[in-house]
Amino acid sequence: MPFFTRTTKTNRIPSRMAKPLFSCTFWRCFTLSTTPRRLVAGGIFTMLLLAFALLHAGEFLQESVTCGALLCGLCIAACLIMGALTSLRFGMTERAAGITSTIMMALLPIVAMTMVECLNGVFTWNWSPQTLLLNYILYYLFYGFVYVCSGSYRLSMLLVNPLFFLLGLTNHYVCAFRGTPFVPMDLFSAGTAANVATAYDFSFNYQIVIAVLLLAFLQIAGYKLHTPRMDTVLRVASRVFFGTLIAAICILYFFTDQYADVGLKPDFWNQNRGYRRTGVVMNFCLNTKYLYVTKPDGYDAEQVETFVSNRLGDENSSISQRPSTPDDTVTPHIICIMNESLADLQVLGDLQTNVDYMPFLRNLTENTVKGNLHVPVIGSGTSNTEFEFLTGASTSFFPAGSNAYMLYVKNPLLSLVSTLTQQNYSATAFHPYYASGWNRIAVYNHFGFERFLSLGSVISNDILIRYQQSGYSQALLQDLVNEAYPGQNVMLRQYVSDSCNYDKVISLYENRDRNKPFFLFNVTMQNHGGYGETFDNFQEDVYVTAINGAETTKTGEHVSVAYPKTNQFLSLIKRSDAAFGDLVNYFETQDEPTIICLFGDHQPSIETTFVEQLMGVNSLYSMPAEQEQARYITPFYIWANYDIAEAEIERLSVNYLSSLLLQTAQVELPAYNRYLLQLSKTLPVIHSVGHMDAEGNYYTSNSTSPYTALLSEYEQVVYNYIFDEKNRKSTLFSLGD
C-alpha cells in the first residue's frame, strides 16, 4: 500500500476488517488512519524489531563502544517508531503526496550513506562537505538508474538499498578478517573466500545492529513512497534526463582521466585509508575502472630486449650468453615453501613475549641466506605473493586490489617452474587445502607443474565429504582425523599442521623420480587467519608480555588477555618454527644436495589496537609511508645442506626472491632473472605501496622519484611478459631457443 495515497470521495471500505479504527484529517490534505489488520501486522513487526535489538543489546554496552547505552536506547526507540509507521496509513492529496515523496527521495540517500558507513566504522557527518556531496550524488545516481529503468520511486529504494547494505556488510567482514577493504577484484575470488569462511567469526556487533535497523527504515519508507503523476512528455523527459546524465558520468570516468586529474581515484597506497576518508561505495566504484591492465605509457615491445640488455651490461653478459653451471657443482634438489602468515611481528616495534616464538629460525645462520622480504599484501591475498615469487613480475603495475591468479594467468606462462623443468627438474605443487582456492588448478597447469597435490592427499576424501555434509563441524572433523590418523598430529586448529605438511614434503622427496632433480613448491595452511577461538587440539604457549616497554599482563596473571588473536598467532608461529627445524634436521642427514627456500606470504590480520600500540601510532590509516612499509615485511630463508655463501639481506621484495634462489642454487638463469638480479641492486624493493633504493630511501607511488625511468622499463618488461602474448619476447623468459 503506498505511503501517500490520494483521498477521494469514492473510496470504499471493502470489508469489515478494513474498517478504520480511527481516522484523523489535518490541514485538509493529510489523513492518518489504521485498521485492525494493519495494527496487528505493525505490532508483530514491532515485536520482531525489538527482539532483534534487545538480543544484541550487550554489543552496545561494551567498554569500546562510545555512548553505547544512548545508542541502544535510540535503537529501541527506532524500533517503536518503525512499528508505528508500519501500523499507520498516511493519506494525502495527489499534489501533497508527490511533493512529500520527492522530498523524501532527496533525504533517504543520506540515511543510506549513514547505514553503509556505520558498517565501515565512520560517521558520515565527520566527512568534509565536498566528500559528503560527492557521495550523495553517487548514491543518487544508483537510485536514478533504477528510476530510468522502472519509472518508480518505490522500486528505486526497494532494490538499491539492500545492495548498499550488502556491500557495506561484505566490506565490514572482509576488513575484520583480513584487515583490508572489499574491492571489485574480490568478486573473482568468491570461491576461495567461501573455502575459508568457516574459520571466521560472523557474529553481529553494534554496527551491524544499527545498520540492519537503518535498512529496515529505508525499506519501510521506500515501500510507502508515491511516484508523482506526470504527463507522458514530462515522465519521458525526466527518465531521459537521468539516463543521459548517468551515461555521461560513466563515459567520462571510464574512458577519460578527467576524474583522476581532479583527485577522484582510489588511494592505491592505502585502500583502508581511502575507504574511510571518502566512503565505501565511492571507493568501490572508483576501483572498478582499474579492473583491466592498460599498456604502459610509451610501451614498445621491440624495446623490451634493449631494456634487459642494457641492464645486463653491468654483468658483461648479453641475452644470448647464458652462464653455464660450474663443472664442480651438482644440481641440487630445490624445495620452496611459502608459509601461511609466517611473520616476525618484532619488525613493527619492540615486542616482548614470555618465550621466543622463533628460536630455530633466529639462530639459523650456517649455509643460510636470510633477510626481510617485502610482500605486496597484508592479512590476505596470498596468491599475489605466490605469483610474484613464481614469475618475478611485480603486481605493483597491476590495478590496485587485483588478483593475478584470478584475472591474468589465462594461458601457459613461463615461470620459475619452466626454468627448472627445462633443466630436467621434476615439478610438483603441494597445498594441504582445497585445490580450487585462488584458481590454482588452472594456474599451476599454465605454469607447467606436472602434478598438484592438495588436501585430499593428506586427509581422505571420505572424511572431507562427511565434514562438508555436517555443515563444516570442526569437532567432527577433528574426531574423524584422530580416528583415521591416531597420534599423527594431522590437524592444528582446523587446518593441516606444518608438522604434518612437512611429513608429506619428506614423503614426496623420498618417493621422487630418481632420474631427475626434485623441485617442489609448497604452500602451507597451519597459520591461516581466524585467530582467537579455542581448540582442543591446540594449546597456546606464547603470549605478549610487553609492548614498547609497557607491560600487558596484569599482576598475578600468566596470560595476557588483551590480545587473544595475537597470542594465538604467536603460538602458531612457534609451532611453525619447530616444524621447520625438524624438516631441516631431516635434510641435514641426506647425502644429496638440497636447498630449501622458506618465506612468509603476508603478515596476519590480528587486533588493530595491538598493531597500533606496537607501531606507536594513533591510527593505521594515517601513518607515514615509511612506517607503513613495516607491515609488508615477512622473513625469508634460503638454507642448504651443503656449503653456500652465507648472507643477511636487509631488504628484498618477493619478485626478486626466486631469482636469488636460482643464483644461490647455481642453476642456469634466463636473461629475465639475471635482469631482475641486476635491478635489485638499485631498487631492492618494488611493490604495491612504493619502492626503496639500496640506501633505504623510500618513495611512494605518487611521489617524485629518481627511478621513474627505471621503473617504467621494468613495467614494460612485465607487461610484455604477462600480457602481450602476441609480441612476447620469449627468449628473455626461457632457457629454450
Looking only at the bridges linking them, the beta strands covering 594-600 and 333-339 are: parallel
Transcribe 424-473 into DSSP letters: T---EEE-SS-TTGGGHHHHHHHHT-SEEE-GGGTS-HHHHHHHHHTTS-
Q: Across all residues in the chain, what is the average pLDDT?
A: 84
Q: Mapped to the 3 state alphabet, what secondary structure does 570-582 carry?
A: HHHHHHHHHHHHH
Quick one: which of 700, 650, 706 has its CA closest to 680? 650
382 touches 601 (CB < 8 A): yes
- What does the block give as the cell for 195? 573455502
Cβ(341)–Cβ(529) below 8 Å: yes
Q: What does the pLDDT read at residue 272?
A: 76
User: pLDDT by residue (tens digit) across 246-267?
Assistant: 898 888 888 776 776 677 777 7
User: Phi and psi of 525, rounded to 5°?
Assistant: -135, -15
What three-state secondary structure class fits 368?
Answer: strand
Q: For residue 497, which of 524, 521, 522, 517 has the smallest C-alpha distance?
A: 524
pLDDT of residue 46: 84
For residue 621, the tally of other CB atoms under 10 A from its CB is: 17
Domain regions of the chain by residue span: 4-290, 301-733
Residues sharing a CB contact under 8 Å with residue 596, sequence separation 6 or more, in sequence order: 335, 336, 337, 583, 584, 587, 637, 638, 639, 640
Report the pLDDT value the prediction gives residue 24, as an integer from 0 to 100: 65
Q: What is the pLDDT of residues 113-156, one digit of tens each?
A: 999 998 888 888 888 888 899 999 999 899 888 888 888 888 88
Cell of 378: 597484508
DSSP label at residue 188: G
DSSP 69-101: HHHHHHHHHHHHHHHHHHH-EEEE-HHHHHHHH
Strand, helix or coil for residue 513: coil
What is the per-residue pLDDT for 365?
A: 95
Pick the CATH number of 301-733 from 3.40.30.10, 2.60.40.770, 3.40.720.10, 1.10.150.530: 3.40.720.10
Residue 404 contacts residue 395 (beta carbons within 8 Å): yes
How high is the pLDDT of residue 561? 66
Q: CA nearest 399: which of 541, 294, 519, 255?
A: 294
Reported pTM: 0.73
Query: Which residues of the chain are under the pLDDT cut of 50?
Result: 1-17, 316-327, 555-558
* Residues 192 and 384 sit within 8 Å (Cβ to Cβ): no
What is the per-residue pLDDT for 182?
Answer: 84
**Does residue 202 contact residue 172 with C-beta atoms inside 8 Å?**
no
